[in-house]
Structure 1
Amino acid sequence: MTTTPNIEGIMLFEQPFARVPYENYRKVFRVTQKNIEKELGTLQTAAADLVRKAQTGAVAQEDASKAVEAMLKRTENLSARCLGDLQKNAGTPTLEVMRERLELLASVESVQSAASPEFDRWADTRLDRWLTDWALRSGKERTARKLAQARGIERLVDLELFSEIRRVEEALKKHSCAEALAWCSENKAALRKVKNPLEFELRLQEFIELARDRKLMEAIAYQKKHLIQWQETHSVQIQQASALLAFTPATAFGPYKRLYDLARWDNLVQSFRLAIYNLSTLPTEPLLYLAMYAGLASLKLPSCYIHETKNVDCPVCDPDLGLLAKEVPFSHHVNSTIVCRLAGKIMDENNFPLAFPKNGHVYSKEALEDMAAINDGTVTCPRTKETCHFTELRKVFIS
């Protein structure tokens, strides 16, 4: 019996895989477009001014010709510089990445069976991508790069994006907002569209650091230049921060003491990561975790958290995987599934359950037969040590 891959289910996990290079191309394209429009606006202003002077006779013909030639040369340089940078930085490389990723996704649609070697190879590549993604999110960039290089999947993982994330986060951990503010400037329109307050939080932190160092005049100037523009949406925070001019870290109390708390830098790291994930359409959890959540959700039962009934073959009962399982809801089964504590196998009509006559504990027929075969027909309950002959066991019917 052959089973076709669940393409719809597979694609649920692959949206970020295709979207990240697309969003990167859009960002670079918007920046280039903005620069071109700025340069063209300057040229249009210069051309209009030259026409006005020519109509009034305020410029000689020779000077006008030189001015036109200068504008033409500037236009040619603009085309070569801006369009060339777009092609170099985001054009061909990003388009090739997008093409390779889309081709990989398209290849799984032609697979006829989930048991075929083609699907196994595709699934192995996907697992390599997920492991690399986990390593990048966990700060193990060197490991991620070595894995990607060994598996030949450099274009299938977002190494450069996470390298940028790490660079900005390292600066924030060193109490510097410069790199994060530069990133906010590059993505100002996108952040404004989703109403993300990261830039304000960074500006507020820089003001707090000036107050901490008692650079009061610089703090006042900084507030006028960078915080007043947020007055309509963050007036309460700005008013509280203004009071820091009267309090030192040693004399601050209540909300002012919390503003001086160095733990705010850790919050900024988290805020930045959430912002860049949002703009890059990346999930906040590693893709590997999301896939494992889906599997654990189908297995998680209340009995997994009862010490006496733990099953060595149950992923939810496993000490490590169980930590992930805590995040997912319990599974709902229309029909009961009973697993033998001894053998770890499902008990059904072919491997039906048998109960001990006195304590009523239930185990599978296969496990008890194996025990009886090596003990002259005698079986022992591993929990209560009750012993009886195999023929004394009572058959249990699953309803």
Structure 2
Amino acid sequence: MADIEAAKINHDNHLLLDQPCLRLPYELLRKNFRSVHYPLEKESTSVKNLLKETANGSLNGKASPQDVVKNLDLMLVKMRGLKRKLTAAAEEEDRLYRQMDSRVAHMRELADLNTVDDVKYEAWSRQRLDRLLVDYMLRHGYDSSAIALADERGMRDLVDIDTFVAMSKIRKSLEGGSVQEALAWCNENKKELRKMQSNLEFMLRCQQYIEMMRTGAQSRMLEAITHAKKHITPFNDTFPEEVSNMAGLLAYRPDTALEPYASLYSASRWQRLADAFVEAHLKLLNLPMNPLLHIALSAGLSALKTPACHSTHQDQASQDEAPEPPIQNGTSTSATPPAAPKHHPHHPHHGTASLTTRVCPICSTELNALARDVRYAHHGKSRLLEHDLMLLPNGRVYGKARLDEYAAKSGLAPGQVKDLVTGEVYETSELRKVFVS
């Protein structure tokens, strides 16, 4: 019964991780609608007014035939331009609807599965892992690798390549010292950024001002003052300290050591601007700040983490030597003896090694930092614990019945037990009873 319960798929928990996959096309559809709604209203109103003016002028004789023809040509130009915008928006809408259909179908496959033992679940979970890997690579700028993986797996409609490639392009331009692309993006999303109370555009305008001041040329400094009056001073009520620092920058050159002006001239500001843009971009689209792969790993690591995984001893051991293999048994690592041993409970005694042991995921060098801030596992009911646990001197934990059975099969003398993995023999008086906390 316990195995059946453990193998049962919790669809709600799966959907928590896959929410961004379903949400993003919807957010992009809203953005696509907003991008054409205002031009449509503006151009259609302009054409209607011009048509009315032309018709009235033609009827009362105030407009010459040449003026009428000129106005008609102008209306045709405006309508053709509007048609191009609407055509592009319609194509984008079709693409997003196709993505939504593919993603809903992908999630429907999961809804039809009930247990992880189903042969179809392995293929579905493998495809989800590929999605998480593509998301991770796109967020870290490995665009070509992400595109290659998506094309190889045939899942372009399940990942958000175009969105993240556009984000990566602007991020790289900021890291390269250009704010033009980011300012254009801010202008496209001005209303949404204002609702979010984002300071990204203000930071970009400040950086423009700083770069003008960096040159030291008189003409550029006058241009910087004009720029500040137009783009920085209006934010005095919202960001008074920052505006004051920008004003004070007039008295200091780039080689100053006085703070905060030295930091304002620092080249590291470009990286902070890039990070601020990525944060605003993800927040605008309701996407998580961390890669989905990290979120999935954190959930799994939390289920395995115990207080000993980041103990003072473990932190010191990770600096002094490589991690040793953990104990190999079928019991929960949350079991603790009355007196804790001096070594990590996941690991065998120093000097003991076995090819059958595995590295503790939490204590591995690859995942230790990621697991440091996740919560400890909380098990309301332990289903995998053996009865009457005993701790061997080498740090391994087994059930007493299994130790007795193995000792009998090994032909040991009464009062002796044998480690099932290493083969070490101990007296029963050396064993200590383990209690589950």
Match of residue 34 from structure 2: 30
Aligned 8 A contact 2:136 2:291 in 1:
yes
Distance in 2 (CA, whole Å) between partners of 1:361 and 1:86 is 65
Distance in 2 (CA, whole Å) between partners of 1:173 and 1:138 is 13
Q: Given the superposition, is the C-alpha separation of residues 367 and 38 from structure 1 closer, same or farther in structure 2, using an over 3 Å criterion?
A: farther
Q: What pairs with 1:81-120 in structure 2 (closer than 5 Å)?
A: 81-88=84-91, 90-120=92-122
Match of residue 330 from structure 1: 376
Shift of 1:52: 5.8
Distance in 2 (CA, whole Å) between partners of 1:372 and 1:135 is 54
Aligned 8 A contact 1:133 1:286 in 2:
yes
1:115-147 deviation per Cα after TM superposition (whole angstroms, max 9, x unaligned): 212222211111110011112222222221221
> How much identity, in percent, do the aligned residues show?
30
Q: What pairs with 1:122-201 in structure 2 (closer than 5 Å)?
A: 122-201=124-203
Aligned 8 A contact 1:134 1:288 in 2:
yes
Which letter does structure 2 place at the counterpart of 1:83? L
Structure 1 stretch 146-155 or stretch 110-119: which is displaced more?
Answer: 110-119
Match of residue 261 from structure 1: 266
Structure 1 stretch 36-45 or stretch 288-297: which is displaced more?
Answer: 36-45
2:310 to 305, 308, 313: 305
Distance in 2 (CA, whole Å) between partners of 1:64 and 1:386 is 104
Distance in 1 (CA, whole Å) between partners of 2:425 and 2:115 is 48
Q: Given the superposition, is the C-alpha separation of residues 176 and 388 from structure 1 closer, same or farther in structure 2, using an over 3 Å criterion?
A: closer
Distance in 1 (CA, whole Å) between partners of 2:28 and 2:262 is 40
Aligned 8 A contact 1:54 1:64 in 2:
no
Shift of 1:304: 2.1
Aligned 8 A contact 1:171 1:177 in 2:
yes
TM-score, with structure 1 as normaliser = 0.84
1:271 aligns with 2:276: yes
Structure 1 unpaired stretches of 5+: 338-345
Which letter does structure 1 place at the counterpart of 2:16? L
The SS at the match of 2:290 is coil
Which letter does structure 2 place at the counterpart of 1:85? A
Q: Given the superposition, is the C-alpha separation of residues 251 and 75 from structure 1 closer, same or farther in structure 2, using an over 3 Å criterion?
A: closer
TM-score, with structure 2 as normaliser = 0.77
1:40 aligns with 2:74: no
Q: Given the superposition, is the C-alpha separation of residues 77 and 309 from structure 1 closer, same or farther in structure 2, using an over 3 Å criterion?
A: same
1:363 to 397, 406, 413: 397
Match of residue 223 from structure 1: 228
Shift of 1:224: 2.3
Shift of 1:353: 2.9
CA RMSD of aligned residues (A): 3.1
The SS at the match of 2:238 is helix
1:213-234 deviation per Cα after TM superposition (whole angstroms, max 9, x unaligned): 1221111121123223323312
1:42-66 deviation per Cα after TM superposition (whole angstroms, max 9, x unaligned): 2234245436645764225x45753
Shift of 1:211: 0.7
The SS at the match of 1:233 is coil
Structure 1 stretch 298-307 or stretch 197-206: which is displaced more?
Answer: 298-307
Which letter does structure 2 place at the counterpart of 1:7? H
1:66 aligns with 2:69: yes
Which letter does structure 1 place at the counterpart of 2:372? K
Match of residue 332 from structure 2: none
1:191-223 deviation per Cα after TM superposition (whole angstroms, max 9, x unaligned): 111111101100001101111112211111211
1:164-191 deviation per Cα after TM superposition (whole angstroms, max 9, x unaligned): 1221111111111111111111111111
Distance in 1 (CA, whole Å) between partners of 2:85 and 2:177 is 34
Structure 2 unpaired stretches of 5+: 315-342, 347-357
The SS at the match of 1:124 is helix
Q: Given the superposition, is the C-alpha separation of residues 227 and 369 from structure 1 closer, same or farther in structure 2, using an over 3 Å criterion?
A: same
1:348 aligns with 2:386: yes
Aligned 8 A contact 2:150 2:156 in 1:
yes
Which letter does structure 1 place at the counterpart of 2:121? F
Structure 1 stretch 270-279 or stretch 50-59: which is displaced more?
Answer: 50-59
Structure 1 stretch 137-146 or stretch 74-83: which is displaced more?
Answer: 74-83
1:233 aligns with 2:238: yes
Which letter does structure 2 place at the counterpart of 1:325? A
Q: Given the superposition, is the C-alpha separation of residues 56 and 237 from structure 1 closer, same or farther in structure 2, using an over 3 Å criterion?
A: farther
The SS at the match of 2:390 is strand
The SS at the match of 1:354 is strand
Distance in 1 (CA, whole Å) between partners of 2:103 and 2:395 is 53
Distance in 2 (CA, whole Å) between partners of 1:318 and 1:360 is 20
Distance in 2 (CA, whole Å) between partners of 1:199 and 1:371 is 73
Shift of 1:38: 2.3
Q: Given the superposition, is the C-alpha separation of residues 112 and 302 from structure 1 closer, same or farther in structure 2, using an over 3 Å criterion?
A: closer
Match of residue 328 from structure 2: none
Structure 1 stretch 108-117 or stretch 122-131: which is displaced more?
Answer: 108-117
Match of residue 343 from structure 1: none
The SS at the match of 1:328 is coil
Structure 1 stretch 201-210 or stretch 38-47: which is displaced more?
Answer: 38-47
Structure 1 stretch 286-295 or stretch 104-113: which is displaced more?
Answer: 104-113
1:301-323 deviation per Cα after TM superposition (whole angstroms, max 9, x unaligned): 11223441242453223232222
